[in-house]
């Protein structure tokens, strides 16, 4: 494993914004992850873990510590032949969904089109159209901050809405899933329909992080943002999508500050007009709390 210095992070996020990481490590296997953690501890560095970078906003000032990138980590899919699949954290969720559909494994077909890695999907309990990672995930291997590997069951992972409390301060190494069975033709058709629906309803032509805000209880973030007249609202090069109000687009060479300030403006406006405080789904690194 190689520790690089002064790496621009905008190349590792779907927003295509963000400053430099003081140190940066791409991990390909479990030993790489352990070595990266050892480097952080021995040099008294803070560290953050990123996967596919699709649900991430990194400040223009970058990160004055170590970024551990798991987008290449354990890139394998193992089919045990009994409806159980073991998938490494670095496999994209899109590839896992395609694999399961094409092999007749049901339970993930509605998650077609969700970006990011399988490890990130476990961390945030990714989901769409009434399917979530928690529905099929039976266990996962995690590495804690001291480099110890722990296997946790679905219940121990502590899944909730867009979170997994049992993975806090841990790095996902791999996960196992138990699926139902349908014909591959049926599942691939559902996958195709979901992808077409996303293309129709979501702005996929410009860089974004997907949905910016979590769904508030009994409502939808996009609906609230639209009702507050914020579609098309712009700060710098960042713009609230006309097509889907819960998307902020890097419309014209936006900075992370543009996007961040637009997030704050949306939160404040929606709260002032509705009394509902929208909670960001996008993870932010390098911003003052």
List active site positions. 162, 211, 281
Task: Compute how many other C-beta atoms are within 10 angstroms of the C-beta atom of residue 35.
Answer: 16
Q: What tokens does 8 get?
A: 């621009």
Considering only CA atoms, which of 59, 56, 67 is closest in space to residue 25?
67
DSSP summary character for residue 261: H
Note whether 39 and 47 are within 8 A (CB). no
Distance CA 24, CA 154 (A): 31
Q: Is 63 strand, coil or helix?
A: strand
Residue where the block lists tokens 């890695």: 117
DSSP 89-125: TTSBHHHHHHHHHHTTEESSGGGTT--SBHHHHHHHT
Q: Distance (Å, rounded) from C-alpha 211 to C-alpha 196?
A: 17
3-state DSSP assignment of residue 148: coil
DSSP string, 211-225: --BPPPTTS-HHHHH
Burial of residue 193 (CB within 10 Å: 0-12, 13-18, 19+) is: middle
| Burial class of residue 195 in the structure, from the number of CB atoms within 10 Å of its CB (0-12 exposed, 13-18 middle, 19+ buried) | middle
């Amino acid at each position: 494993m190689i520790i690089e210095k002064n790496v621009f992070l905008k190349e590792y996020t779907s927003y295509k914004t963000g400053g430099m990481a003081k140190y940066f490590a791409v991990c390909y296997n479990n030993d790489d992850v352990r070595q990266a953690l050892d480097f952080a501890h021995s040099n008294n560095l803070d560290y953050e873990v990123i996967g596919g970078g699709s649900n991430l906003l990194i400040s223009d000032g970058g990160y004055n510590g170590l970024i551990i990138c798991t987008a290449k980590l354990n890139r394998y899919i193992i089919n045990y032949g009994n409806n159980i699949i073991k998938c490494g954290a670095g496999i994209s969720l899109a590839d896992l969904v395609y694999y399961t559909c094409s092999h007749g494994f049901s339970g993930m077909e509605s998650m077609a089109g969700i970006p990011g890695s399988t490890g990130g999907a476990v961390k945030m309990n990714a989901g769409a159209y009434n399917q979530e990672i928690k529905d099929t995930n039976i266990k996962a291997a995690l590495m804690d901050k001291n480099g110890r590997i722990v296997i946790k069951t679905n219940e121990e992972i502590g899944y909730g809405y867009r979170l997994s409390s049992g993975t806090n301060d841990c790095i996902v190494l791999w996960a196992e899933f138990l699926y139902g069975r349908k014909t591959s033709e049926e599942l691939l058709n559902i996958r195709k329909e979901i992808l077409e629906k996303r293309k129709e309803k979501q702005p996929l032509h410009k860089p974004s992080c997907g949905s910016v805000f979590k769904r508030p209880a009994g409502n939808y973030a996009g609906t609230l943002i639209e009702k507050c007249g914020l579609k098309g609202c712009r700060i710098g090069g960042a713009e609230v999508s006309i097509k889907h109000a819960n998307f902020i687009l890097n419309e014209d060479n936006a900075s992370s500050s543009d996007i961040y300030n637009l997030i704050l403006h949306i939160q404040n406006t929606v709260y002032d007009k509705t009394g509902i405080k929208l909670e960001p789904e996008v993870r932010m690194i390098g911003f003052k709390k």
